[in-house]
Amino acid sequence: MKSKKFIIVLVLILFVALTSIALVQAKNVEEPPTVDAGQIVYDGKTLTNSSYKKAFPALSPDKQQIAFVYNIYADEEGQPVRKIGLVDVKSGQVTDIKLENNSSTGFLYLEWLKNNRIGVISHINPSLEEYDIIDATSGIQTEQHFGVGFSWLGDRLYFNKPRPHFADGDKGKNKIMDDKGGILYESPDNVMIIGGPNFDEQGKSVAFFEYDTLNEEVTLVVGDHLNDKSIKINKKMKWHSDIGRVKWDNANEVKIGSQYHIVKFNLDSEQIVGDEKTPEAIKLEQEFEQRHSDNFYDK
């Protein structure tokens, strides 16, 4: 009997120990900053309290500051408000940075580039976005770029420069450019670049989507990135699924993530070899099933 009791006690001790480890590990999993009732919340604390609502909080790499945008278009006097905020994680002190030269109609998101640099992406029209780079220490706007599909590779920013949204007809070239003004690729007339550029981790391969306005066809374009100077096109493949961000699994397979699907595509066979739903798609399906269940309308 003693041996059985000993075994039971030992099992209980092990169970408690493992549970404690799991709880500690769960506690150590860092949650990103969030927005609750328009205020910035991090590590269980509400760090801001002003009346203006905030959005898109992003934690700095050193975890000392949180950048966010003010989710307003105009102040009480009707003047445009285009500014971001920085809140110190320890003190809760907020510093506002006004974007003097921002001509957008609304912010899309922001990202930390380093501990002292912030990229702010905002919307201008359906075919153009603005990317502002802010020095977080001085509050000075150091760079400004116009395009879509902004993508960092090391310290270089690449993007698609579309033809003007209100241009006459379909003629006009789209360009893949870098932040130094270099042009790596130009599309043919009547062809729009509608997604990308996206690079592999080594920066040697690049992919993007094109849309032929005459034939109404979408193609996935894959090429080589040559010494930051040009893109050599290797393949143009007809695409019949959702477009999205391209990520390389290996040299022969990529994943293309859209809002509702993550598609795995083999570049050699030019075939979709996998398709999984995103959490958002699963959530929408569950909500749809709930709305159409027999019990839903009886509640």
* Order of strands across the sheet that contains 34-36: 34-36, 39-42, 45-46
Identify the pLDDT of residue 292.
63
Angstrom distance (rounded) from CA 103 to CA 97: 15
**pTM for the structure as a whole:** 0.75
What percent of the chain is modeled with pLDDT above 70? 81
Residue 75 scores a pLDDT above 80: no
Identify the pLDDT of residue 4.
47
Angstrom distance (rounded) from CA 69 to CA 14: 48
Task: State the pLDDT confidence band at 165, using cuts at 50, 70 and 90.
Answer: low
- Give residue-wise pLDDT tens across range 84-101: 999 999 999 999 998 877
What percent of the chain is modeled with pLDDT above 90? 49
- Give residue-wise pLDDT tens across range 222-266: 999 998 789 999 999 999 988 888 999 988 999 998 888 899 999
* Average pLDDT value for the chain: 82
As to burial, measured by CB atoms within 10 angstroms (0-12 exposed, 13-18 middle, 19+ buried), residue 3 is exposed
Angstrom distance (rounded) from CA 198 to CA 243: 12
Residue 168 scores a pLDDT above 50: yes
**Residue with the larger pLDDT of the pair 151 and 28:** 151
Taking the domains of the chain in order of start, what are their residue ranges?
A: 32-153
Residue 138 scores a pLDDT above 80: yes
Tokens of 35: 């927005």
Angstrom distance (rounded) from CA 28 to CA 12: 24
Asked if 221 and 246 touch (Cβ cutoff 8 Å), the reply is no
∠ CA 89-92-96, nearest 5°, is 100
Angstrom distance (rounded) from CA 188 to CA 91: 54
User: Any idea which fold 32-153 has?
Assistant: Neuraminidase (2.120.10)
Contacts with 10 (C-beta within 8 Å, 6 or more apart), sequence order: none
- The distance from CA 7 to its chain's CA centroid, rounded to whole angstroms, is 52
- Give residue-wise pLDDT tens across range 270-298: 999 999 988 877 887 787 777 766 554 45
